[in-house]
A = this chain, B = another copy of it.
Amino acid sequence: MLDLFAGARLTPTQRRIAHCLVERAGTAAALSSAEVAELAGVSQPSVTRFAIALGYPGYPALRRALRDVGGGPADDGGEDNAMQVAIKAEAEHLQRLKEQLGSLDAVQKAANLLVASRPLPVLGLRAAAPLAGYFGYFASKVHPDVRVWDTGGTSLLDRLDQARVAGAGAMLALVLPRYPRESLEVVKEARAMGYAVVAITDSAVSPVAEDAAVVLPAAVGTRLVFDLHTGPMAMAMVLLQAMCDADPEPVQRRLEEFEAAAARRQLFQG
């Protein structure tokens, strides 16, 4: 299916269309050009032009191609390889996370604690370091002073002190298996210093649970050689969303400023 689109140079509008079609893989062939246009938020002629850009004589031809490719496989009964088993398990984790988010109390409580903290330390060591960076990257766009702590060492405790003095009241801790000893120590120390610790971890009975003010559990995938952190990643972004919702006005302003700066510096393509 994806190969159908390969090779062609596409305009931004066309990329939106492609994206929209890829997303609905199987059902795309059932859509008329006008319906695709509406879903992609573009004009109907753009859809025709998209088909032609791909080398088809027109939209109906593209649709036939979609039908032939998309309709084919659709085997959910069969033999899955190891990768598929792992990804399927991940999809189920997220499904469960979705159910769990039926009640947002814990998330909102955590969000309120974190938005109020200036600065806002984000702790994630070893395997969790990238997740801390990920959260920090986006959080910085809506919070004026996010501090990502992703390397260990004794200086961590100093930074904990400094942040506390600077006014930090809460901390986000990302603590995933295999639970780095150092992360646990920092959390314990933070609690002793009066921080309200929000912990994203892999289960409600994780070792950080006892020292955390709020525990946000999200399962970790363990079917491959290395752990898959999609659940905690999703949880982190849900938390960030809740932080934005909790404090919408400054968020919107900061995002607009970022957009303006990005455009000015031509950071992105498309």
Distance between A107 CB and nearest chain B CB, rounded to angstroms:
7
Q: Report how many residues on chain A are interfacial, defined by Cβ distance under 8 Å.
A: 104
Chain A at the B interface: SS class: helix
A58 contacts B by Cβ under 8 Å: no
> Which residues A105-144 have CB closer than 8 A to chain B?
107, 126-127, 129-134, 137-138, 141-142
Q: Does A244 contact B (CB under 8 A)?
A: yes
Inter-chain CA distance A262–B177, complex, in Å, is: 13
| Complex CA–CA separation, A251 to B81 (angstroms) | 20
Beta-carbon contact of A226 and B209 below 8 Å: no
Copies in the complex: 2
Chain B: CB-nearest residue to A237: B228
Residue of B nearest to A24 (CB): B71
Segment touching B, from A36-44, A82-90, A153-161, A189-197: A82-90
In the bound assembly, the distance between CA atoms of A74 and B24 in angstroms comes to 12
Q: Given A104-B83, A129-B137, A217-B2, verify A96-B25 contact (CB < 8 Å).
A: yes
Of residues 205 through 254 on chain A, the ones whose CB sits less than 8 Å from some CB of chain B are 205-207, 209-210, 215, 217, 219, 221, 224-226, 228-230, 233-234, 237-238, 240-242, 244, 251
Question: Given A94-B90, A134-B130, are A2 and B204 also a contact pair (CB < 8 Å)?
Answer: yes
| Chain B residues, Cβ within 8 Å of A77 | none
- Assess A88 versus B98: contact at CB under 8 Å? Given A127-B137, A130-B137: yes
Contact of A98 among B22, B80, B205 (CB under 8 A): B80
Task: Verify B204–A224 contact, CB threshold 8 A.
Answer: no
Instruction: Point out which of A71, A75, A134, A219 has the most chain B C-beta atoms below 10 A from its C-beta.
Output: A134
Contacts of A219 in B (CB 8 A): 22-23
Q: Is A46 an interface residue (CB 8 A)?
A: no
Does A5 have its Cβ within 8 Å of any Cβ on chain B?
Answer: yes
